[in-house]
Amino acid sequence: MQNDILKILVTEKEIEETTERIAAEIDRDYAGKSEHLVLLGILKGSVPFLAELMKKIKSNPEIELMKVSSYGKGTRSSGSVKIILDWQRENIEECDIIVVEDIIDSGRTLSYLCEYLKQKGAKSVRTCTLLDKPSRREVEFEPDYCGIQVPDEFVVGFGLDYDEMYRALPYIGVLKPEVYTK
């Protein structure tokens, strides 16, 4: 698996430092100010980031998960967002939600989800992403909490996959081009 990686883009240490910084920003904004702070992780890519982030946040967050799909097979986005596993809560109107994502690419997934959660009656909705590829935006979208900006390259590891592979790598890397063309 490691042989398929061309170069490491974000090391384990950088991921750790970034997560610490974001957790501190979230604590600064929410400590003592929210009855129900909910980290809403988007399956499956956000799982490692969510797990690290929740341990570092001191303002006692609650955890929820949703599953959406925006990507088809490979490295191309399908352009449409589909909810596969929905959020189920009675008290959504009491919840300050922070949607937790692995990466923002076109911006479609998060802009769709923010609208969806507001329509469902959430008290507030913010977004948090480990990685951001601003050069790829198709819809205008700025995350509230942003980890590391990456260039327009397809990245894998720490939750991010290529056809369901490489999610378990502890760092974020770029795949060798021949892996796509196999």
> Where on the chain is the footprint of Mg ion (CB under 5 A)?
45
Tell whether residue 155 is a contact of ligand IMP (CB under 6 A).
yes
Q: Helix (H, G, I), strand (E, B), or coil: what is residue 92?
A: helix
* Nearest alpha-carbon partner for 66 in 52, 93, 47: 47
- Does position 96 bind ligand IMP by CB under 6 A? no
Residue 5 CA to its chain's centroid (Å) = 21
Decide: is 15 part of the binding site for ligand IMP (CB under 6 A).
no
The set of catalytic residues is 105
Nearer Cβ to ligand IMP (164/178) = 164
Q: Which regions of the chain does DSSP assign to beta strands (E)?
A: 5-10, 36-43, 62-71, 77-85, 95-104, 124-132, 145-149, 155-156, 172-175
* Residue 52 binds: one of Mg ion, ligand IMP, none (C-beta under 5 to 8 A by kind): none
Residues of the shown chain interacting with ligand IMP in the complex, contacts defined by CB under 6 A: 45, 70-71, 77, 101-109, 154-156, 160
